[in-house]
Amino acid sequence: EVQLVESGGGLVQPGGSLRLSCAASGVTFSRYAMSWVRQAPGKGLEWVSSIDSNGGTITYVGSVEGRFSISRDNAKNTLNLQMNDLKPEDTAVYYCAKYFRGALGAFNALDAWGKGTLVTVSS
């Protein structure tokens, strides 16, 4: 059984920073590409960022590029998302999700999800 547990969400002011983490268990973490996906209140799922199994390939949605940084520590089975210069439109539940393979893929290639952590950006 794959388990992904997000942490690090909370309330921050615009321009602030927050670091999210995802702890993975029940899977050989180093074999799989990973993603962060978010869902704003009343909105659908939006892909945010992905990283391949060894961290060599990283992608971001345009709205967060330059502000967010995805990373992973395969020795610790963790995925991270450093979020800087946060904006109100970043408010969402952030989900950690696993691809079924080591390389990046489409949205439907994500086969396991965490329960999410809420990030609220407000003054």
Full pLDDT tens readout for the chain, 123 residues: 999 999 999 999 999 999 999 999 999 999 999 999 999 999 999 999 999 999 999 999 999 999 999 999 999 999 999 999 999 999 999 999 999 999 998 889 999 999 999 999 999
Q: For residues 86 and 15, is the Cβ–Cβ distance under 8 A?
A: yes
Residue 109, classified by CB atoms within 10 Å of its CB into exposed (0-12), middle (13-18) or buried (19+), is middle
**The residue type at 96:** C
Q: Which residues, including other chains, have CB under 8 Å from residue 28's CB and lie 6 or more apart?
A: none
Backbone φ and ψ of 36, nearest 5°: -110, 130
